[in-house]
Chains A and B, each alone.
Chain A
């Protein structure tokens, strides 16, 4: 399942599971091949799993590529090693290479972290996830006997194989819901007890740590009947980060888009896209609508950018800089509906920013709302080359026309 919120690696998730008393196998986090071999020796398990650590899912079915040549290095980002030699081979093929999975995007992710985990005798693989159900205003627990496979596929083909339960608003499952879920998974005896205990701990962890998603795929029933979390995919609600200072240490900056972090620091919300028309808009909905209308009139948006309600000259200059860093950008549409933000302030900021960043692509500005006439006057009286328009449709058409025929 794709993630929402602040993500952590599997090895970090498993450390949390250990703290919370959720059963996991012994494992060691490594960043070098030597460490991986030491880990193998220390685990004392003949069979181990050698697991690439990136935030995107689908690692097992992903492929590793050499970052320099682009050659295929190895198929599968999660390997079962039956010997010390295999641990060495797999670790070499993983560390420092690019892992491309279904969820990583075609550019993939450089693997800098590895997790070596003791092997486990598997009687059956299950699926278990906790997430926020926005329609029911509750935490949803989903479980299935079809573990180790893509849950979206299960949902598509055999929805009856997915069992669901919801917490109340305080984050507690109704009495008996854990037993009922264990029954529907066909668990009995020690496995049922083990599952109920794990589910209880996961629900309380979800609440106490402000998670937005916890997914265990697969959750396994071991040979002795115990339930073990063989994977962990945990995301946190970023809005609650203020009460969880421990999260800061878990952040892996190499997994985040540097430009998006930089935008965020200036109060901007930015997402890079593949088109050639940059957008600078106030408000998330209007920013999306601006992208949509550009596309509607035959253009391709280069980004989503919401300058936010507290925008000022500095943040608008940063915004222009970020848009123009993208070499694909051949024109910019500014769409501002002034409310608290005044269009004349934005106009002056645009003029300053264009000088500062050396604006050289066509610029179309649409102002509406607070001080839109003053804003237009400021732009028209300046030496800046700019087309001013009255509506979003006119703006989109003007910027599309101005960028058509420009070489990519």
Chain B
């Protein structure tokens, strides 16, 4: 089991004929993802060569979803067109299938575009957006798996730990930490570092709670906003599995944006210290050093009786 994607998920790539789109469609296919086609307006009818297959390009998401019966779309289009691409995907999935997962990798989308976009999608209960400005989502399988995004696939392995993170490379770090103690992952989700985004920590935790294969979760936050505090409070009441948590940015100065659009301590709010203490208060096991996530995870699994000491 896993959450939201698995080896049978059929994936479309919006922006498949662009440099990033073709590159990552290739990597995703190599990993084992069932890439069934792509969308680039004006390039419908072309074929894109991927390892072991050629997939069709469509002009619109409507055509693409109708023809391929895809479940997932991943977006690699430039920032100024990305919000429209999300809306197009949402409309197509909603009208044709009533459900669908949209993963937006693009960084730098205007905030008000995202507010409009989130408002539009919120009317569609079957549609889930991950991102924007995120590495994507991956479910490692027995042979390959399903990778929807830009993460290096080979660092993952199928297992029983769920990973949720706002950051890209720090997610990979968390994955490597689980691997260093012999644990694999059910699903890893990068929710992105933008102030306005789709899926949040709580959505992921709720899905992991319902996934019988996931035994514990690693949650990686960062400074800015209150998503970590909200997730901790929710988890205290609703989440039964152990969580290991880390928050990046304990040394970040206030008022300075640290790379990610949302990573900023504003008016003294959104500090790493507040988030760590919210984690502790909620019974989340914290690692102050991300290189110790593996160690903490092992002790937590043993404590929970899920592993032999």
Contacts and interface: CB of A to CB of B under 8 A. Distances in A.
Contacts of A401: none
B112 A288 contact: no
Contacts of A368: 172-173, 176
Max chain B CB contacts within 10 Å: which of A152, A207, A269, A340? A340
Contact of B252 (A2, A240, A304): A304
Max chain B CB contacts within 10 Å: which of A168, A207, A296, A301? A296
B225 interface: yes
Interface of B: 79-80, 108-116, 118-120, 122, 135, 150-152, 155, 165-173, 176, 193, 195-196, 220, 222-223, 225-227, 230, 246, 248-264, 266-268, 272, 288-292
Contacts of A168: 119
A284 B119 contact: no
B269 to A, nearest CB: 9
A265 interface: no
Nearest to A304: B258
Contacts of A123: none
A339 B169 contact: yes
A237 B110 contact: yes
A296 B248 CA distance: 12
Given A134-B225, A284-B167, A243 B80 contact: yes
Contact of B170 (A138, A237, A283): A283
A285 B169 contact: yes
B85 to A, nearest CB: 15
Interface string A169-195: 111000000000000000000000000
A284 B155 contact: no
Given A4-B264, A338-B152, A169 B195 contact: no
Contacts of A293: 289-291
A271 interface: yes
Nearest to A170: B116
A177 B222 CA distance: 34
User: Size class of A's contact patch?
Assistant: 35 or more
Contacts of B155: 369
Contact of A239 (B109, B172, B220, B252): B109
B169 A283 contact: yes
B223 A288 contact: yes
Contact of B253 (A271, A285, A309): A271
A80 to B, nearest CB: 28
B152 A288 contact: no
25 contacts: A132-B195, A135-B225, A135-B230, A137-B115, A137-B122, A139-B115, A168-B119, A207-B112, A239-B111, A239-B261, A240-B113, A271-B257, A283-B170, A284-B259, A286-B167, A286-B248, A288-B251, A291-B252, A337-B172, A337-B176, A340-B152, A368-B176, A370-B152, A393-B291, A394-B291
B291 A337 contact: no
Contacts of B116: 169-171
A289 interface: yes
A243 B108 CA distance: 13
A289 B152 contact: no
Given A132-B196, A285-B167, 15 more contacts: A2-B254, A2-B267, A134-B196, A137-B118, A137-B122, A152-B267, A152-B268, A210-B110, A239-B261, A240-B110, A285-B259, A287-B258, A289-B290, A295-B250, A369-B155
B193 A284 contact: yes
B163 to A, nearest CB: 13
B251 A285 contact: no
B195 A134 contact: yes
A169 B152 CA distance: 35
Contacts of A134: 195-196, 225, 262
A339 B150 contact: yes
Contacts of A202: none
Nearest to A151: B267
Given A271-B253, A370-B152, A285 B168 contact: yes
B248 A292 contact: yes
A306 interface: yes
Contacts of B151: 339
A282 interface: yes
Interface in A115-150: 132, 134-135, 137-139
A137 B198 CA distance: 10
A212 interface: yes
A246 interface: no
Contacts of A391: 291
A3 B196 CA distance: 17
Interface in A268-294: 269, 271, 273, 281-289, 291-294
Interface string A366-400: 00111000000000000000000001111000000
Max chain B CB contacts within 10 Å: which of A132, A137, A369? A137
A170 B258 contact: no
A259 interface: no
Q: Which 8 residue pairs spanning A and B have beta carbons closest together?
A: A169-B119, A285-B167, A284-B259, A283-B169, A285-B170, A240-B110, A393-B291, A288-B248
Contacts of A287: 258-259
A261 interface: no
A4 B257 contact: yes
Contacts of B255: 2-3, 103
Nearest to A237: B111
Contacts of B220: 285
